[in-house]
Structure 1
């Protein structure tokens, strides 16, 4: 509500009639009250004191029906409701006067003992009469002139009795009032719904605020507990490394002291001892020096600073919340990482090929985590701009799978680097062939099972069994110990056939294939 709207309310100590006879702008009794189109009433002088502003007319508002940007209308804003009021062309005096309030002001004035009613026309003589049609107080002289005006000047006007006119317009106004009254109940009901909804929203917001605060507090407690756990683990790791380094330091200091004692004693003996003294102590000195030379010790510290905090790694649950961040002590050593897989040597055009990288630490133990930064590239040896798109999959157990599909045959080179160093098996050469030899046999466990015990069926693995069986069997001579292809003996199901079986066994091979 604007300040002007607040000013329309008066203290409850004043009478209702006093409230209706006072202007909400000047706070004084109405003088020449005028009704705005929004049905709020103010003194004419107070309305004139409102700030006026111009608004360009729209095409629909223009009288000529065409848009003229130079035309504008002068407006004021109602101080009570901010309604946009067009200023009449003849001025604000053209606003309709509020005769009802004028009568109330008049009745209110009559109650004052010192009140003197003056003529509304001459503002000089005492008012002796009042025109009920114009609601005007008149002296005797002005009353005669006013009567002549009504009877002479307006005699040609189309007039009718007020009683007849009020029946016509009174019914019309009552009809409009009847149509307007239901809106009040509807608006009041809507406002009540808005108030109820506001209370529900505020209640819901208070509930959610409590839930958010509780969740945040519990989450912070979980994070603080996880932080304490990490710091405790870090402190234990510090104690462990310091103890290990201190022990190695003590051992090496003892060895150093023994070495210095042996060297100093021997140098002193050889420098200052007589030949007889040297010969007499030769056995003890030689044995000691030999023992010192055989002493084994590490030239590298047992511990290193290979401690990392990996923020993105899951650390499990803490107070029901999943937390992240682990301490890793194993340090990746690129020289101990291995490349494995057939895709490092051969590949086939338009066929996906795979190889695997196994990441190890300095001791050669596999690192059971992922998230390492790896650089990989495979390119054509003749045209280095022809590179293969390599898809890297992190298994999160220290192994990474690389998949590529060459579109052009030829010789390719590739490399895999970590921390700026090549891993074991890098760089490597790949031969991409245009024809893919499909297997003509079956991928089976052994010939005895696949042929249901037939003796004359052979297998590409070259295995045989006792009792005249020319094919392979579980646990018998030549069996690879796992499923393989009957045509060539290869152990990988998705691979190219090498066709190692000789030609005179083709018929037996066909029998195996058929079976």
Structure 2
């Protein structure tokens, strides 16, 4: 069996060397190219300086490390190798496995990320194609609607033009005839034709020539406009924006809805709505108008009610207010600095509802359990030192009534002090809760 021996044991310097099999060295990974000293070329690093913790050659051990403890490398390799093996096996090997596992997860996540990004990109492209198709369809729909509006208004304008031209011919012919009659006709001719001429001229003057009430004014084309930010519903399942507005606000056709415009209560909120309409009486489909609402007391100066106007963005405006004083009020509702039909309106604000502070009972004697000090808001009295009312005694209403004011109606407003003082002969307002 081949063996490796550096020198013979017969040499004194190598007497302590050990002989090992080449296969054993290869199995343990210790057979390789020898490492030589950088200071002494040709000298192999066979010793280990424990003080400097460095491998050295024989020359270094005899010179630079003379007083240091140097021993053969094979004597200390097991100790230092065990430290390395222990660190590798107990700490680094588990960490290596853990890092490999994490790396595998990272690589898997990268693959999943790539797949998900590609799928999302496909979804985005499909959405963009669908959205572009919806926008294109919406664009074509808007253009068709615009063409329809053009045809409608062109027909109205053509009808107006024809009627005006006919009227113009009638007026022009009648005026020319009348002027020629006056300039060229004799007195007898003028007097003979005056009746027909006057009737014709009067008829033309009264006609006024507004042949089509719904006709479009020459500059009304400016009312057609494109609103790019207005919601336009959905097209093929995609929300789109952009509408064509062709309606013109007609203040004279705006209306008010809600009871809060006519009646109100002191200290209670009131509400009504303004509906803006076009010249055809149709509700406007958008907001943005300049709406001003003012509520002022008609009898008290410097008594105005704060109002809040909310634009509902659909042609309607919600108005809310809270009057603090009863009485008649004047309500001004203006759109674009013009009063709507009926403005200013009359608002009647009633006094605050007075709730009862007592109990609805048959008499103070029964409801108080016979207490002599219990009094009542009615005019009834009873003998025996009792201050309140009793059944069958003088002034008793003869039916259940409120202890605070004497009213015989259960669901009613509490009588004011002035009325109570006029009814009660005792002249007091103090009542006892029964």
TM-score range (shorter-chain normalised) is 0.5 to 0.7
Which of 302, 307, 312 is 1:394 aligned to?
312
Alignment length (residue pairs): 315
The farther-off stretch of 242-251 and 404-413 is 404-413
**What CA deviation, in whole Å up to 9, does each residue of 1:414-452 have, x standing for no partner?**
43322232323434464545422689xxxxxxxxxxxxx
Which of 279, 288, 291 is 1:362 aligned to?
279
SS in 2 for 1:176: helix
Is there any run of 5+ residues in structure 2 with no aligned partner, and where? 1-30, 49-56, 357-408, 415-434
2:390 matched to which residue of 1?
none
The reply on whether 1:246 has 2:163 as its aligned counterpart is: no
Q: Distance in 2 between matches of 1:496 and 1:378?
A: 31
- 148 and 287 in structure 1: CA distance in 2 versus 1, 3 angstrom threshold: closer
CA contact (8 A) 1:358 1:366 kept: no
CA contact (8 A) 2:182 2:190 kept: yes
CA contact (8 A) 2:47 2:71 kept: no
2:149 matched to which residue of 1?
237
SS in 2 for 1:204: helix
Q: Distance in 2 between matches of 1:405 and 1:372?
A: 25
Note the 1:81-480 alignment, pairs <5 A. 103=34, 121=39, 130-133=43-46, 150-151=61-62, 154=65, 156-178=67-89, 179-279=91-191, 281-282=193-194, 285-286=197-198, 288-293=200-205, 295=207, 297-298=209-210, 302-303=215-216, 304-305=220-221, 306-311=223-228, 314-363=231-280, 365-367=281-283, 369-378=285-294, 387-390=305-308, 392=310, 394=312, 396=314, 398-407=315-324, 414-428=331-345, 430=347, 432-436=349-353
Deviation at 1:209, TM superposition (A): 0.9
Q: Distance in 2 between matches of 1:423 and 1:294?
A: 29
Question: What is the alpha-carbon root mean square deviation over aligned residues?
Answer: 4.1
Q: Distance in 2 between matches of 1:290 and 1:380?
A: 48
CA contact (8 A) 2:266 2:326 kept: yes
Deviation at 1:360, TM superposition (A): 2.9
SS in 2 for 1:130: coil
SS in 1 for 2:341: coil
Q: Distance in 1 between matches of 2:186 and 2:45?
A: 157
- 187 and 341 in structure 1: CA distance in 2 versus 1, 3 angstrom threshold: closer
CA contact (8 A) 1:330 1:367 kept: no
Deviation at 1:496, TM superposition (A): 9.5
2:367 matched to which residue of 1?
none
Q: Distance in 2 between matches of 1:241 and 1:414?
A: 38
1:68 matched to which residue of 2?
none
The farther-off stretch of 410-419 and 146-155 is 146-155
Q: Distance in 1 between matches of 2:202 and 2:322?
A: 62
Is there any run of 5+ residues in structure 1 with no aligned partner, and where? 1-99, 107-118, 136-145, 440-486, 488-494, 498-515
Deviation at 1:205, TM superposition (A): 1.0
Deviation at 1:287, TM superposition (A): 5.4
Deviation at 1:238, TM superposition (A): 1.0
Q: Distance in 1 between matches of 2:278 and 2:187?
A: 55
Q: Distance in 2 between matches of 1:388 and 1:101?
A: 101
CA contact (8 A) 1:312 1:325 kept: yes
- 216 and 151 in structure 1: CA distance in 2 versus 1, 3 angstrom threshold: closer
Q: Distance in 2 between matches of 1:259 and 1:368?
A: 39
Deviation at 1:296, TM superposition (A): 5.0
Q: Distance in 2 between matches of 1:196 and 1:276?
A: 116
- 174 and 357 in structure 1: CA distance in 2 versus 1, 3 angstrom threshold: same
Q: What TM-score, normalized by structure 1, do the two folds share?
A: 0.51
Deviation at 1:207, TM superposition (A): 1.1
Q: Distance in 1 between matches of 2:225 and 2:264?
A: 38
1:78 matched to which residue of 2?
none
Give the number of the structure with larger relative contact order, counting CA–CA contacts within 8 Å between residues 6 or more apart. 2
- 281 and 176 in structure 1: CA distance in 2 versus 1, 3 angstrom threshold: same
Deviation at 1:210, TM superposition (A): 1.2
CA contact (8 A) 1:344 1:430 kept: yes
2:384 matched to which residue of 1?
none
Q: Distance in 2 between matches of 1:101 and 1:417?
A: 105
Note the 1:17-36 alignment, pairs <5 A. none
Q: Distance in 2 between matches of 1:216 and 1:426?
A: 52
